[in-house]
A and B are shown apart, each in its own frame.
Chain A
Amino acid sequence: MNSDVILRVGTKLILPFILLFAIYVQFHGEYGPGGGFQAGVIAAAAVILVAITFGHSAAKRIAPRGLVEHMVPLGVLIYAGTGVACFFLGGNYLDYGVLAHDPIHGRHLGIFLVEIGVAVTVSGTMVALFYAFVERGR
């Protein structure tokens, strides 16, 4: 536990904004710069910041290790599963047009799902790697 009061208060102040920015980058990626990869890294950075300031166990209460490790393959499954769903709805693999009544809406939905998959895998991998390094160092 870090006893520096500026660090601890500063972390608490900045944390909601980091997470909000991650969500913004995730869901606004279709209109502005960003997307699942960047959002995943930013969300992982928030957890890592908590781990550095408040200690490893505080971060694990926010993002338990089991959850983080399951997120690593889950994101790839969401991505590939979107492709398989297109496949069963009569389109080609990853051809999102068939996901909704209107091809444009289908593409929006497909990109939305795929970006979530990327964010889940990326943030899970980053936090899991950080935990692995920290625990190895004990």
Chain B
Amino acid sequence: MEAIINMALLTLLGVVTLAIVVQRSLLSVVILTSIYSFLMASVMIVLDAVDVAMTEASVGAAVSTVLLLGALYLTKSREETPRRSRALPLLLSLAVGAMLVWGTLVLPPFGTADTPIHQHVAPRYINDVMGEVGIPNIVTAILADYRGFDTLGETTVIFVAGIGVLLLLGGLRRQDPEEGTPEDPS
């Protein structure tokens, strides 16, 4: 059953990716990217990574789609046909893709329990989390406690990135908050 779901999801992912490449209307590309994120979230659920699936669905499919649509509103909504030859970028992409596929060949089979990543710190977290942190969701315990520094760094990254984009868009300029029309540009 899981194999069938996986095959269906991965096939759809491939189809959506091809559609994104072929599509010239940027509006369609944004919608297709959103669909891609929903499919990715489903894949994450099949892999039992519910926290990641939730993030992918809320950030990838919802908010980033809205922000991309907002960006589209400021620019043109059709992709220009490239002036130069596309042979070199295509070759480069194919080469990188081939290298990645080559890299996966030496990975251990999917779901193997005795790989290094499952032998190192994971058993310690699983065994000691209730005694040390007392939180049933090990993912939260790792993110907020064991690796609190990483999460502090991530929050700082969001802060810095947000401030940077706001400055680029001129959104931090002081202005009268009630100025302008009440109409929504959408």
A and B bind: yes
Interface string of A90-124 (1 = CB under 8 A from B): 00001010000000100110110011011001101
B145 within 8 A of A: yes
Q: Which residue of B lies closest to A65 (CB)?
A: B177
| Given A45-B62, A80-B152, also A121-B184 (CB < 8 A) | no
A20 within 8 A of B: no
Q: Which residue of B lies closest to A77 (CB)?
A: B159
Q: Tell me if A41 and B169 are in contact (CB < 8 A).
A: no
A56 within 8 A of B: yes
In B10-60, the 8 Å CB interface with A consists of 50-51, 53-55, 58-59
| Given A37-B55, A65-B177, also A111-B144 (CB < 8 A) | yes
Count of interface residues, chain B, beta-carbon cutoff 8 Å = 53
| Contact partner, A121, options B141, B158, B180, Cβ 8 Å | B158
Count of interface residues, chain A, beta-carbon cutoff 8 Å = 62
Q: Tell me if A57 and B182 are in contact (CB < 8 A).
A: yes
Q: Tell me if A2 and B171 are in contact (CB < 8 A).
A: no
Q: Tell me if A32 and B67 are in contact (CB < 8 A).
A: no
Interface string of B63-80 (1 = CB under 8 A from A): 100110011011000000
Q: Tell me if A31 and B136 are in contact (CB < 8 A).
A: yes
Q: Which residue of A lies closest to B168 (CB)?
A: A132
**What B residues does A130 contact at CB under 8 A?**
66-67, 70
B151 within 8 A of A: yes
| Given A75-B159, A114-B148, A121-B158, also A60-B177 (CB < 8 A) | yes
Q: Tell me if B184 and A29 are in contact (CB < 8 A).
A: no
B interface secondary structure, majority: helix
**What B residues does A117 contact at CB under 8 A?**
155
**What B residues does A60 contact at CB under 8 A?**
177
Interface string of A49-74 (1 = CB under 8 A from B): 00110111100100011100100110
**What would 14 more interface pairs be, CB under 8 Å, given A30-B136, A114-B148, A117-B155?**
A29-B140, A30-B140, A33-B50, A35-B51, A38-B55, A48-B66, A51-B184, A65-B177, A72-B166, A73-B163, A107-B133, A108-B135, A134-B70, A137-B70
- 28 interchain pairs (CB within 8 A)? A30-B140, A38-B54, A41-B58, A41-B62, A41-B63, A45-B63, A52-B66, A52-B184, A72-B162, A72-B163, A73-B159, A73-B163, A75-B155, A75-B159, A96-B145, A107-B132, A111-B133, A114-B144, A125-B159, A126-B67, A131-B171, A133-B67, A133-B71, A133-B73, A134-B185, A135-B180, A136-B169, A137-B74
